Amino acid sequence: MAIQNFYYIVTSSRSFFIQMVFTLNAIYYVTQADLNALQLILIGTIMEVSVLLFEMPTGLFADHYGRKRSLAIGTFVIGFAHVLEGSTPEFWAIAGASALWGIGWTFISGAEQAWIADELDGKNLEETFLRGSQFSSFARFAAIVASVSIAIIWSVQIAILVAGTMLIVLAIWAFINLPETKFVKVTRTKGVSGVTHMIATIKSGLEQIRGNTVLVSIAVVTLLWGLASEGFDRLYGAHFITDYDLSESESVYWFGTFYAIAFLLNIVVLKLVEKHMSGRYANVLLLTNAVLVGTMIVFAWTGQLWLAVAMYWVTSALRNVNYPLMSIITNERLQSKGRATTLSMFGQLDAFGQIAGGPLVGLLALYTSIAGGITTSALLILPVLYFLWRMKKKMTVS
């Protein structure tokens, strides 16, 4: 089997099971766990704190002990987290599961990109990442049908438990079957302590970033995306349920439709980018993020459900373009040795941004309105446009 196919299987399968949860957890949090706006933000903040704390240690783990092992551990922990949150609709259980989810994701982030980039010797990354995102979007679309069907026949809670269990099965399969032939272990010099070696590895990653103007711009954009994203991620579900007075049974159908159309749009957008915008990804990122500011604000304030749904679809499709395009730009500029650790630094910046931005948006939403919180998230994207413009200018010159 071609190495890319292993990558597509793992990423799309994980996307399928995680989307089964994400299709329904906003409903679960509001209608069964009865979380308020601040609690919704706090569970996201707890997740991002765990990402911030564990991103670097897990990146070092991947560079020392293998990316496949790290990826399998992360998938297992995320599966266990969903089993925990699905078993008890209480704030403490959901908060604990969020912390575990963040830890699990840090084992995957950086390690997965580093694994496939190494196995391909840094070649065909553009095609692999874009096609992988398309396969993942198809998987998420299928997951919506699966999760809604399970929720209708049984319950939202059962759907979450099934998805968590299947993620644990996927983790075991990945550990047994994924090939890892090009891994270059970061070794410790004899006589050098573990702490000293860890610091040296981190310094090497920082030097890579500092020595490249584009990577510096990516670092700033990643931080700002973190600031802007958490509020929208945690409040859009409550916005639909609360501000448009949807019942739990209505929400299951509506949310399934929301996600299904959004992922189909994302597939179309990624295909257009792959076909017509190859090599001009900084231009695409600048345009999509400029449009995002407007669509998020309209989504927050329109009183028409159909227009809010349309704006959600556009916003979701465009936001899902950011990750694969930035992954291509970033991985093309990183060395193989220590790649996972360096990528983890970007993950930490995103987590720090979400930790800083999430509670601010949550408090604003709690004391003003959910629409006000979403608008704040939109306005936090504005500084991103300047740094994307700088990045585009530098990439055009070079």
Q: Which helix (H) or strand (E) holds 93?
A: helix 91-108
pLDDT of residue 338: 66
pLDDT at residue 1 greater than cutoff 80: no
- The verdict on residue 329 lying in a domain is yes
pLDDT by residue (tens digit) across 104-141?
998 998 788 888 888 888 788 878 888 888 898 889 88
Q: What gap in Å lies between CA 50 and CA 99, rounded to an integer? A: 6
Tokens of 158: 């059962």
Q: What does each C-alpha distance from 147 to 141, 244, 266, 292, 343 come to in angstroms?
A: 10, 23, 20, 28, 32
Please state the rounded mean pLDDT for residues 186-206: 59
Report the pLDDT averaged over residues 216-228: 86
**HEC profile for 32-88?**
HCCCCHHHHHHHHHHHHHHHHHHHHHHHHHHHHHCHHHHHHHHHHHHHHHHHHHHHC
pLDDT score for 276: 72
Q: Is 30 exposed, middle or buried (0-12, 13-18, 19+ CB in 10 A)?
A: buried
Number of domains the chain is built from: 1
Which has more confidence, 157 or 209?
A: 157
* For residues 219-236, average pLDDT: 84
Is pLDDT at 188 greater than 60 in this prediction?
A: no
Q: Is residue 167 part of a domain?
A: yes
Is 70 exceeded by the pLDDT of residue 164?
yes
The residue segments making up the domain with residue 142 are 3-178+198-397
Top pLDDT among 122 and 164 is at 164
pLDDT digits (tens, 9 = 90+) for 288-302: 999 999 999 999 999
User: In whole angstroms, what is the distance from residue 202 CA to residue 204 CA?
Assistant: 5
In a domain, 184, yes or no: no
**pLDDT single digits (tens) 27-79:** 888 888 888 878 887 888 888 889 888 877 887 888 888 889 999 999 999 99
Q: Is the pLDDT of residue 193 over 80?
A: no
Decide: 171 and 73 in contact? Cβ < 8 Å.
Answer: yes
Summarize the confidence of residues 293-316 as an average pLDDT: 92
Can you give the pLDDT at residue 72? 96
Q: What pLDDT score does 162 carry?
A: 96
User: Which of 205, 167, 157 minimizes the C-alpha distance to 60?
Assistant: 205
Whether residue 189 lies inside any domain: the answer is no
Q: What is the model's pLDDT at position 201?
A: 61
How many other CB atoms are found less than 10 A from the CB of residue 382? 13
Report which secondary-structure segment, H or E, holds 110.
Answer: none
Q: In CATH, what number is assigned to the domain containing residue 105?
A: 1.20.1250.20
Confidence of residue 95 (pLDDT cuts 50, 70, 90): very high
143-170 mean pLDDT: 93
For residue 306, is it within any domain? yes
Q: What's the mean pLDDT in 146-173?
A: 94
Give per-residue pLDDT as tens, 344-393: 778 778 878 878 877 788 788 878 888 999 999 999 999 999 989 888 88
Question: What integer pLDDT is reported at residue 211 of this predicted model?
Answer: 67
Spell out the residues 6+ positions from residue 65 whose beta carbon is closer than 8 angstroms to its own: none
Residue 187 forms part of a structural domain:
no
269 located within any domain = yes
Q: What is the pTM of this model?
A: 0.72
Residue 185 falls inside a structural domain: no
pLDDT at residue 202 greater than cutoff 60: yes
**Looking at the predicted structure, is the pLDDT value of residue 307 above 80?**
yes
Helices 382-397, 281-301: inter-axial angle, 10-degree rounding? 170
Distant-in-sequence contacts of 91-99, Cβ < 8 A, 24+ apart: 91/33, 91/35, 91/39, 91/43, 94/29, 94/33, 94/35, 94/43, 95/42, 95/43, 95/46, 98/43, 98/44, 98/46, 98/47, 98/50, 99/46, 99/47, 99/49, 99/50
- CA–CA dist 289, 326 (Å, integer): 13
Q: What is the rounded average pLDDT for all residues in the chain?
A: 84
